[in-house]
Amino acid sequence: MSDFPNYETVIGLEVHVQLSTASKAYASDSTDFGASPNTLVSPITLGHPGTLPKANTAVVESAVQLGLACGCTIREHNLYARKNYFYADLPKGYQITQDTTPICTGGGVNIRLSDGTERTIRLTRIHMEEDTGKSLHDLDPFHTLIDLNRAGVPLLEIVSEADFRSGEEAYQYLSEIRKLVRYLDISDGNMEEGSLRCDVNISVRPVGQERFGTKVEVKNMNSFRNVQKAIDFETERQITAIRNGHTIAQETRMFDAAKGATILMRTKEDAHDYRYFIEPDLPPVVVTQAAVARIQADLPELPQARWERYQKELQLSDYDASLLTENRATADFYESLVGSGCTPKSAANWVMGPVRSWLNERALRVEDFPLTVTALAALISLVEAETVSYSAAQQRLFPALMEQPHAAPADLAQALGIVQQKDAGALEVHVDAVLADWPDKVAEYRTGKKGLIGLFMGEVMKRSGGSADPKTTTALLRSKLD
Partner 1 sequence: MGFSPLMDYRAVSAGKTTCAALVEEALTRAGQAADLNMFIELFSESARAQAAAVDARLAAGDSLPLAGMVVALKDNFCYRGHRVSAGSKMLETFESLFSATAVERLEAAGAVFLGRTNCDEFAMGSSNETSYYGPVRNPLDPSKVPGGSSGGSAAAVAAGLCHVALGSDTGGSIRQPAAFTGIVGMKPTYGRISRHGLIAYASSFDQIGPFAHTLEDAAAVLEIMSGADAFDATVSSRPVVSSPPIAPIGPQRYAYFQATLDHPGLDPHIRASLENLFEQLRSAGHTVDAVDFPYLDQLVPLYYVLTTAEASANLARYDGVRFGHRSEQEVDDLDGLLKASRSEGFGLEVQRRILLGTFVLSSGYYDAYYGKAQKGRRLLRDHAESLLASYDALLSPTSPHTAFPIGRENSDPTVMYLEDLYTVHANLTGLPALSLPGGLHPNGLPWGLHITTGRFEEPALFAHAALLQNTLSAH
Contact residues toward partner 1 (CB under 8 A) are 43, 46-55, 82, 84, 86-88, 91-94, 144, 146, 273, 275-277, 280-283
Minimum distance, C-beta of residue 277 to partner 1, in the bound complex (Å): 6
Cβ closest to partner 1, residue 42 vs residue 311: 42
Minimum distance, C-beta of residue 268 to partner 1, in the bound complex (Å): 13
Cβ closest to partner 1, residue 49 vs residue 425: 49
Minimum distance, C-beta of residue 269 to partner 1, in the bound complex (Å): 13
Minimum distance, C-beta of residue 202 to partner 1, in the bound complex (Å): 24
Cβ closest to partner 1, residue 154 vs residue 167: 154
Minimum distance, C-beta of residue 146 to partner 1, in the bound complex (Å): 7
Cross-strand pairs, 468: 421
Measured CA to CA, the distance from residue 348 to residue 361 in angstroms comes to 19
Asked if residues 197 and 191 have their Cβ atoms less than 8 Å apart, the reply is yes
Cβ closest to partner 1, residue 54 vs residue 237: 54
Cβ closest to partner 1, residue 265 vs residue 416: 265
Asked if residues 399 and 362 have their Cβ atoms less than 8 Å apart, the reply is no
Minimum distance, C-beta of residue 31 to partner 1, in the bound complex (Å): 19
Cβ closest to partner 1, residue 6 vs residue 267: 267
Q: Angle 453-463/439-446 helices, nearest 10 degrees? A: 150
